[in-house]
Structure 1
């Protein structure tokens, strides 16, 4: 009888050890939970203290929203996404549940998410005198987020006297919980008579849902704080001149943005926050030279951009169009970006042509004789006439000898397309018990006008001389226009030693961007 009892006790002890309930039981305490923005994703920030490795999961009801694993004990802070990029989380009760690595529940906590509550405190507009009338150049709103989740404002619709209206993309669009900030948009509503006007503003999120509204009155007036630029140039032996306002908040916002790590500079030409300004600029410019001849119209636009003084930069630093207008100087890519944005705005099939240490504009025209003109073909065989914008005097289809027939070139279309960029955190290697793996976290953003499908990540482990010792390909995914995806990968380390990890962002089978990280 004693021997049977001993055997039963040993079996019972062994079962407890396997379940992790008696030996090496995980102890974890949640120290704090806060809600805020994390790189465009509404997130729960969890500060905790754990004795061992754990799994942290976020649920809404039975639906798993996000999860992470922690492989080292001690005090840690991590974030879990409540919703997608620039999406406002749904109202309801969420649960943070922490498990040990055997999926035993260790502790949990409840979070209540409220409906978003954005209050517009006041309105400020910048007026620009244009002839006898006024232009509502820029609109700014002081707003307070009285809810407990981040609010992301994508667009603003402003109406003047119930008759004139304009939709504009907002800059500084993130408002964290319990915070007050200023959001602005370049509106450029023309033809407003001098006097007092009623103004109605509606704010919308990424999905087009109205999230706040505000009405006010304002009177037109001269604003001497608005910076202006003035340019004179010649086209077909006739002198032209133009004076342009520089919206100060738009300029400040674009100047503050980190330059994108991409060679596709169409990013700067199609960036949506300055759409209304480019439309205003294009219309004002073309009003100076009325012609129905499309090539003459293109050459006139080119003459305007060519007359902006050329300034060579020590390091390549692509500028948004508003920056080039404000400084009235730029190098080849700055001037090509500005010209392409104007020409695309007037409905032309435009591209940027990247050559060796140079950039120009390409324009495809139907029904035009390409014989004797300089052009470059894209991958489908479509021909784009070369347009030099760096120096004065060049016409569509002309080029100096250096740029007439280069073999090494890339064409980047300017217009309706996805435009993907990745922001990858440095991968971390873990050696946990008998496991050896690398964790990759990559934020994929689509700044383009179209949705991106068939997107994937390729993670390449490189040894000496960049020899690939293992390659991992993620599942394919999509990224909506103006949206983003957060991709987390847990990849077993190769058996061979490696020195680098290269992460390629792939769209439709082509490498869009690469990031390389060195492992010591």
Structure 2
């Protein structure tokens, strides 16, 4: 979703649409329609069947054993067992070429695996749901895949001297920059996402979660049944309230939202997820948490303030424009003036309104420039913070 905006021709209606999108943050997600599915009560939502494109979970046929779980059985292949996939990853001020090996035996085994889930499973059956999704992260074949690619990724971490927080953000932005596949059917295993170089919401989230879990982070898969969407989560430990939603697992751990479908900041989500029913499935046994959520919140909160400011300035521009055009008509003969001084009074007001108009136009242009920069550079958190601060837009009074 391209949220970039321009100053000229920017209507109030357009700005309202933008503000709605960034109520907390705009993100794409795995949505088949713009409307939620309301037919089933929250907590009772069954897995969606394969006729719904938004959900990639398929229902098992009745002949499938009740305890069936997706599993990779490596395929027999001849020739070179590996095929490289190259990803160009923007992070902070650099761009990295990440060449990852895909084990063809594991890939074809994953591609042919039965990824269906037992018919009639409900989202409230947390144990069954968790067992199903965890099967995408477990097993010797998938473990070998992660071992292979993490050897390559860790070279960058070591060479650049990334901290745990920076490494988390690097892994996140790598997965976010993998192209989104809106035509995905049955869920891909992480090895398929790398080999195919594309994935949808749950597929990319599972790739990211698998990376984070194996690098020692306390992570989770967060599923929103009514919106057909899945994201990754990273655990945070807070001493009080936050400006963003904390998603709690059954054991009380709190996770913050990570959108994997496109570039975005940790903790950003569309406003309709604020109160949406969520299934939280912790993955792995890592203990590293995300600690600088307030550091990133400065960006997300600034983005909302900027959007509100743009909306206000646009409404003022609309008001001034109407007044200016009305006065212009009066001054050009539509109004009968009793004296020269009366005409001069309206003319002076006209000049002042035009000056005000250009002042607001300058203010809205400055804010739009910053807004666009922020949404285009989530891979450079430190740089974006500096950009916002140096722009001084948050000091503008209105």
**TM-score for both structures, normalised by structure 1:** 0.35
- The higher radius of gyration belongs to 1
Relative contact order, higher structure (CA 8 A, sep 6+): 2
* Greater fraction of residues in helix: 2
TM-score by length of 2: 0.45
